[in-house]
Amino acid sequence: MRGWEKYVRKVEPYVPGEQPKGNRLIKLNTNENPYPPSPKVMAALQTMEADALRKYPDPASGGLKEALARYYGLETNQVFVGVGSDDVLGMAFLTFFNADKPILFPDVTYSFYPVWAGLFRIPYVCPPLDAGFGLHKEDYFRENGGIIFPNPNAPTGIALALEEIEEIVRRNKDVVVIVDEAYIDFGGQSALALAKRYENLLVVQTFSKSRSMAGVRIGYAMGSPALIEALENVRYSYNSYTMNLPSQILGVEAVRDQAYFAESVGKIVTTREETKGWLREMGFSFPDSQANFIFASHEKVDAAKLFNALKQEEIYVRYFKQPRLENFLRITIGTDEEMNQLREFLERYTLSDAVRPRPAGT
């Protein structure tokens, strides 16, 4: 080892979903929205003045905060914005999880959580989900240094009932509880309704999924003014200009176009429910997803082999080679045309000799 290497922080990095290139491929592996952003977003992008880019953006992202606060019925001091929800969550780990006690998050969940815990040297414990990937609130009624979980969960898509979330928050008033709602617009009840009663609750959402703006990188947190102030103090101690000007402008327009937002989310939910039907007919099983993806396993088809077969056809889904998940594929909901092409391939593949069970005695 070279002398300086002993001072380098060693972490196990997060592995993002593959970003393949090409015009013919079907990309169902990173939970992006298959529809474009609001036309108002595109119009604002075309009329943006280039001269404005030579100046620093508003460090407080005031316009975007105001739009979000108005939309959710909050005050601006109850909203924090960052460069995607990953930035917001990472800042929240750094800000709130500083006890000697371990934080708690599920064993099957967003795989960035253990990465942040390792990076910031935060001890953690992962209560296991049950055999059906359900989260048991009782597992979080113990001493801890903070709690975080997605709702709906990733990669399972299962949503936890609001009353169960409230009980977790109520029984952990001495620590911060973070509910990561990246997929809440597709199903389930937001925990934001609880934020007025519990000052230790932080709700995190994103523009990347339901608002079709993963490439713009906007995430936000909502909670008590005390929590938001703590986040802002850490952010200003780290980087005052995290949110660029185009993101601030385009984000405001996205929030304003409620009709387009509802239409886009509605199409995805309709396609998701239709997809559940024909996947079941083919022998797939999966938790009842309330997100914009389905976490599916086949009774006879090896997930790793199917993943590679799909990739050869330029159809990309997500495969997690880890315990409990090795026979599941996470399939993002695409357009109806994309899902029909996936269906046609799966019909051919699941009926092929390669996966057909052998007759008895052979």
In SS3 terms, 228-293 reads as HHHHHHHHHHHCCCCCCHHHHHHHHHHHHCHHHHHHHHHHHHHHHHHHHHHHHHCCEECCCCCCCE
> 360 falls in which pLDDT band (50, 70, 90)?
very low
> What pLDDT is attached to residue 198?
98
What is the percent of the chain where pLDDT is above 70? 97
Q: Report, as an integer, the average pLDDT of 39-46.
A: 95
pLDDT of residue 223: 98
Provide mean pLDDT across the span 252-278: 98
The model's confidence at residue 354, banded by pLDDT at 50, 70 and 90, is: low
| Spatial separation of the C-alpha atoms in residues 205 and 185, rounded to whole Å | 9
Whole-number Cα distances in Å, 83 to 128, 205, 216, 242, 259? 30, 12, 8, 6, 25
Can you tell me the mean pLDDT for 207-228? 97
H, E, C per residue of 101-125? CCEECCCCCCCCHHHHHHHCCCCEE
Closest CA to 292 of 255, 264, 251: 264
- pLDDT at site 58: 95
H or E segment and range at residue 170: helix 162-170
* Percentages of the chain per state (helix, strand, coil), in multiples of 5: 40, 10, 45
Distance, in Å, from the CA atom of 318 to the CA atom of 236, rounded to the nearest integer, reads: 36
Whole-angstrom distance, CA of residue 331 vs CA of residue 342? 10
> Which residue type does 35 have?
Y
For the stretch 326-341, pLDDT in tens is 999 999 999 999 999 9
Which of 220, 188, 222 is closest to 202 using CA atoms?
Answer: 222
What would the pLDDT profile of 123-166 be if each residue is shown by its tens digit? 999 999 999 999 999 999 999 999 999 999 999 999 999 999 99
Of 14, 30, 230, 219, nearest in space to 117 by CA: 14
ω into 127 cis (within 30 of 0): no
The chain-wide mean pLDDT, for the chain, equals 94
DSSP state of 273: H
pLDDT greater than 50 at residue 13: yes
Output the six-digit token pair for 315. 């159809």
pLDDT band at 10 (very low <50, low <70, confident <90, very high): confident
pLDDT tens digits for 86-115? 999 999 999 999 999 999 999 999 999 999
Residue 61's region, left for phi above 0, alpha for psi from -120 to 50, else beta, is left
Q: For position 361, what pLDDT does the model report?
A: 41
Query: What token pair was written down for 196?
Result: 């007025």
With contact defined as beta carbons under 8 Å apart, do 65 and 59 qualify? no
What's residue 359's pLDDT? 42
CB contact at 8 A, 50 and 76: no
Give Cα 274 distance to the centre of its chain: 22
> DSSP string covering 290-316, please?
-SSEEEEEESSS-HHHHHHHHHHTTEE
**Hey, which residues does 89 pair with through a beta bridge?**
none
d(CA 339, CA 334): 6
Residue 355 is predicted with a pLDDT of 54
Q: Within 10 Å of residue 141's Cβ, how many Cβ atoms?
A: 12
Of 193, 155, 169, 178, which is closest to residue 290 (Cα–Cα)? 155
Residue 330's DSSP bridge partners are: 295, 318
Which residue has better confidence, 143 or 23?
143
The model's confidence at residue 21, banded by pLDDT at 50, 70 and 90, is: confident
Residues belonging to the chain: 362
Greater confidence (269 vs 299) lies with 269
What percentage of the chain has pLDDT greater than the value 90? 87
Task: Assign 12 a pLDDT band (cuts: 50, 70, 90).
Answer: confident
Record the pTM. 0.94
Per-residue pLDDT band for 6 (boundaries 50, 70, 90) equals: confident
Cα separation of 82 and 248, whole Å? 10
